[in-house]
């Protein structure tokens, strides 16, 4: 009888502790200001998703904190990722949105990475980054056939090694033998767009979700043409654009495209908290994030802005990052040679 009483008391204390922590987490955000730190410049896809989420997220967090969005550009969002890991307080008030391609970069030993991705706290993702390659009509490369026949390398815009526009272009070059020169160093896809409009660049390879929004007018007029999809299944609105995987002639090429671009698309746009953020606040923010993605007012705004929503949970992102450590060493060595040499 005494042992049973002790067991019941232990359960009661545990429940009381959990309830108290949850109550503290719920009251913590009241009258606070939260930051969403975007690793790229204003006017691109990462910025657009962060700002629309920021306008709705606060009402789903107990205490309804104010939310501001800041751009911390540089090194293809690596500055923002390192800041979140090393500088930001782990109190739940700072969320960062940067390129998930940097997680693969860590596995490959990319210079400049000062974080351990497995220690981040993942909230979730609103969408992946399914890659297409768009080129200008002015470049003369209006099809894959014309691209393959180009006598000089086609200049594609990039941000920094380890980020989708750079990675996708380099992997497409290696897998398909397309003549490509990556011009990196742009602070976001908005800067790449300016380079294309000025004639410095012929185009870029990055998310169709972003491209169809930020380059809407050029696509409509035919000044920008999508000539290649680096995805597993064609987009319904691009039925005649060929898939890169179907053009690959070897198993190694297909594997590079699948693991290096297609699979990486899922974790490419994470919303992340610093390591050490209290677990109860992490769970609260995960619930608020996904409630936001189901909010009718939020969905009406994203539909009007043509922003696709295809969410991943924080738990799914944790597993994807863990899985990167299981890739075969020989494949990783080959990929490192393509992306960084």
Q: Residues 188-199: pLDDT tens digits?
A: 899 999 999 999
For residue 176, the model assigns a pLDDT of 98
pLDDT digits (tens, 9 = 90+) for 3-16: 555 545 544 544 44
Has residue 217 got a pLDDT over 80? yes
Using a pLDDT cut of 90, give the percent of the chain over it.
Answer: 89
Predicted TM-score (pTM) of this structure: 0.87
Has residue 239 got a pLDDT over 80? yes
For residue 128, the model assigns a pLDDT of 92
Q: Where are the domains of the chain?
A: 2-128+267-340, 131-264
- Residue carrying structure tokens 């671009």: 261
pLDDT digits (tens, 9 = 90+) for 157-199: 999 998 999 999 999 999 999 999 999 999 989 999 999 999 9
CA 113 to chain centre: 17
d(CA 203, CA 148): 15
Which pair of structure tokens corresponds to residue 67? 């939310």
pLDDT digits (tens, 9 = 90+) for 73-100: 999 999 999 999 999 999 999 999 999 9
* Answer CATH for 2-128+267-340 from 3.50.50.60, 1.10.10.10, 3.40.190.150, 3.60.150.10: 3.40.190.150
Element of type H or E holding 121: strand 121-125
Question: Order of strands, edge to edge, in the sheet holding 224-230?
Answer: 180-183, 154-157, 203-207, 131-136, 224-230
Has residue 25 got a pLDDT over 50? yes
Architecture of domain 131-264: 3-Layer(aba) Sandwich (3.40)
d(CA 210, CA 193): 11
Who's near 220: CB < 8 A, 6+ residues apart?
A: none
Strands 180-183 and 154-157, bridge-based pairing: parallel
Is the CB of residue 146 less than 8 Å from the CB of residue 140? yes
Tell me whether domains 2-128+267-340 and 131-264 share a fold.
yes
């Amino acid at each position: 009888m005494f042992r049973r009483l002790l067991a019941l008391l232990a359960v009661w204390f545990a429940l009381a502790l959990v309830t108290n922590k949850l109550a503290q987490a719920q009251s913590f955000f009241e009258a606070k200001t939260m930051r969403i730190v975007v690793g790229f410049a204003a006017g691109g896809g990462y910025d657009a998703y962060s700002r629309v989420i920021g306008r709705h997220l606060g009402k789903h967090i107990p205490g309804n904190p104010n939310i501001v969005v800041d751009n911390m550009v540089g090194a293809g969002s690596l500055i923002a990722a390192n800041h979140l890991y090393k500088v930001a307080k782990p109190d739940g008030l700072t969320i960062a949105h940067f390129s998930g391609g940097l997680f693969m970069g860590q596995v490959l030993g990319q210079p400049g990475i000062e974080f351990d991705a497995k220690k981040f706290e993942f909230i979730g993702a609103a969408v992946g980054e399914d890659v297409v390659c768009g080129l200008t009509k002015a470049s003369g490369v209006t099809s894959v056939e014309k691209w393959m026949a180009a006598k000089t390398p086609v200049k594609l815009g990039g941000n920094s090694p380890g980020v989708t526009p750079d990675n996708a272009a380099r992997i497409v070059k290696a897998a398909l033998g397309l003549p490509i020169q990556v011009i990196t160093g742009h602070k976001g896809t908005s800067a790449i767009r300016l380079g294309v409009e000025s004639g410095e660049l012929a185009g870029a390879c990055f998310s169709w979700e972003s491209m169809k929004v930020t380059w809407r007018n050029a696509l409509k007029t035919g000044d920008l043409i999508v000539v290649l999809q680096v995805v597993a299944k064609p987009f319904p609105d691009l039925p005649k654009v060929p898939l890169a995987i179907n053009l690959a002639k070897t198993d190694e090429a297909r594997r590079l495209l699948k693991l290096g671009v297609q699979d990486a698309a899922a974790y490419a746009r994470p919303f992340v908290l610093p390591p050490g953020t209290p677990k109860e606040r992490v769970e609260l923010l995960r619930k608020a994030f996904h409630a936001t993605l189901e909010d009718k007012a939020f969905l009406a705004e994203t539909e009007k802005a043509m922003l696709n929503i295809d969410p991943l949970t924080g738990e799914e992102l944790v597993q994807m990052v863990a899985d990167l450590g299981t890739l075969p060493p020989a494949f990783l060595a080959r990929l490192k040679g393509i992306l960084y040499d």
